[in-house]
């Protein structure tokens, strides 16, 4: 059995707490975005936990991600929205799909306000309305993307979206959604929507331009010190001269089995980790190991925590949280725990 490895612990309690908080605070259902391996948290674990607690609506970016969820037979009632487009001529695709026999209750219509990713553009709206009314269709949902960074432009898109939904018939759509994490923090609860479509906040991650103290980080990356080396008798740390690396001139270096092969990039060098509740400097990161400058208090087997609060790492590393987390590789074992101490 492997010892002293770093694992990603997933707190069921924090995840469900965030879901309940979002639901009651914004008074909306939550469409949980679990793309990119649930933002590095493991799509299988996260969908399993959400499903078990009654949350059965998931959204992903790609077809292969949806297939991954569908392979899990214990999630048979899950409803999965895939953002990826399957062609360019959206109105005809919808028509073809329906004529082919796909139920409109399985289809969500995406409206494109100029973000240009995918969806029906406004010039096709009349035709879409005629088609929907002629066939008297009721859909699983309608949505768009609130891409504007500037508040006033955002309000304009919200207004346009409302107009489109009302024009097509609000009652024809079971789910209506527009906002991702930063948009719920910016614009609050919108009358027109039934759901918020969020990733970041369900994992308790703080994003660009918003901070919500009620959210709880769901993951915890922790392991044990695999070994301590006394530097008095050696000039080297891994393949490097210690004189080039040490910033505190420490006497001891601790080795931890966590490196860029696990997705812990070298940009994390000279940031801090926590050992026995004290901060220490991460001096060197190799493919398989990280080396930490420590003092005589740190012993082999002591617990070490990486990214204790990942929002603090973002300004230091000049990378966003999404990037930092989705690159955590499958070599890092993920494990569900009720609570993180």
Ligand X SMILES: *Cc1c(COP(=O)(O)O)cnc(C)c1O
Q: Strand (E) positions, the chain?
A: 7-11, 29-33, 57-60, 79-82, 108-112, 120-121, 139-144, 173-177, 195-198, 219-224, 227-230, 236-237, 240-241, 252-256, 272-275, 278-285, 290-294, 303-306, 333-337
Residue 5 DSSP one-character state? B
Query: Which parts of 32-91 interact with ligand X (CB under 6 A)?
Result: 33, 35, 61, 83
Q: Please choose, out of 96-104, 157-165, 174-182, 271-279, the segment that lies near ligand X by the rule CB under 6 A.
A: 174-182
Is 263 one of the binding residues for ligand X (CB under 6 A)?
no
| From candidates 18, 181, 268, 283, binder to ligand X by CB under 6 A | 181
Size of the site for ligand X (CB under 6 A): 12
CB of 201 to ligand X, least distance (A): 6
CA 11/CA 8 separation, integer angstroms = 10
Binding test (CB under 6 A) with ligand X, winner from 28, 172, 195, 197:
197
Contact 17, 47 (CB under 8 A): no
Residue window 111-150: x/- pattern of binding to ligand X, with contact defined by CB under 6 A: ----------------------------------x-----
- The residue with its CB nearest to ligand X is 199
Task: Provide the 8-state DSSP code for 58.
Answer: E
Stretch that binds ligand X, among 72-80, 192-200, 251-259, 284-292 (CB under 6 A): 192-200
Question: Which residue, 198 or 285, is less far from ligand X as judged by CB?
Answer: 198
> Beta 290-294 vs 252-256: how paired, if at all?
antiparallel
CA 301 to chain centre: 31
The footprint of ligand X on residues 278-317 (CB under 6 A) is none
Smallest distance, Å, CB 333 to ligand X?
24
Output the smallest distance, CB 219 to ligand X, in A: 15
Q: Which of 15, 34, 60, 198 binds ligand X (CB under 6 A)?
A: 198
Q: CB 255 → ligand X: shortest distance, Å?
A: 35
The DSSP code sequence of 244-305 is HH-SS--SEEEEEB--GGGT--GGGTT-EEEETTEEEEEEEE-SS-EEEEE-TT--TT-EEE
Q: Which of 40, 119, 154, 199 binds ligand X (CB under 6 A)?
A: 199
Whether 269 contacts 281, CB under 8 Å = no
Q: Which two tokens stand for residue 235?
A: 């000039």
Binding residues for ligand X, rule: CB under 6 A, are: 33, 35, 61, 83, 145, 180-182, 197-200
């Amino acid at each position: 059995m492997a010892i002293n490895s770093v694992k990603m612990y997933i707190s069921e309690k924090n995840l469900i707490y965030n879901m309940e908080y979002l639901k009651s605070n914004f008074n909306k259902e939550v469409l949980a975005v679990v793309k990119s391996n649930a933002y590095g948290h493991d799509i299988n674990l996260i969908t399993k936990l959400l499903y078990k607690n009654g949350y059965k609506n998931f959204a992903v970016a790609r077809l292969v991600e949806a297939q991954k969820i569908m392979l899990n037979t214990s999630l048979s009632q899950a409803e999965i929205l895939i953002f990826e487009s399957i062609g360019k001529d959206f109105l005809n695709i919808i028509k073809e799909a329906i004529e082919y026999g796909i139920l409109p209750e399985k289809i969500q219509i995406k409206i494109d306000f100029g973000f240009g990713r995918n969806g029906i553009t406004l010039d096709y709206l009349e035709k879409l309305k005629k088609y929907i009314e002629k066939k008297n269709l009721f859909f699983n949902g309608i949505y768009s993307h609130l891409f504007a960074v500037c508040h006033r432009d955002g309000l304009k898109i919200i207004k346009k979206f409302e107009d489109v939904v009302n024009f097509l018939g609000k009652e024809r759509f079971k789910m209506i959604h527009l906002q991702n994490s930063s948009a719920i923090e910016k614009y609050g609860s919108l009358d027109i929507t039934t759901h918020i479509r969020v990733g970041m906040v369900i994992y308790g991650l703080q994003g660009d331009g918003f901070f919500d103290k009620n959210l709880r980080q769901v993951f915890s990356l922790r392991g044990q010190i695999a070994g301590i080396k006394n530097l008095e008798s050696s000039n080297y740390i891994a393949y490097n001269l210690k004189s080039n690396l040490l910033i505190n001139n420490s006497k001891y270096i601790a080795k931890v089995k966590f490196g860029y092969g696990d997705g812990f990039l070298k940009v994390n060098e000279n940031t801090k980790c926590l050992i026995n509740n004290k901060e220490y400097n991460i001096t060197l990161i190799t493919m398989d190991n990280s080396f930490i400058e420590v003092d005589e208090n740190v012993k082999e087997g002591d617990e070490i925590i990486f990214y204790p609060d990942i929002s603090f790492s973002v300004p230091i590393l000049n990378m966003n949280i999404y990037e930092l987390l989705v690159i955590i590789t499958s070599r890092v074992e993920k494990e569900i725990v009720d609570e993180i101490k």
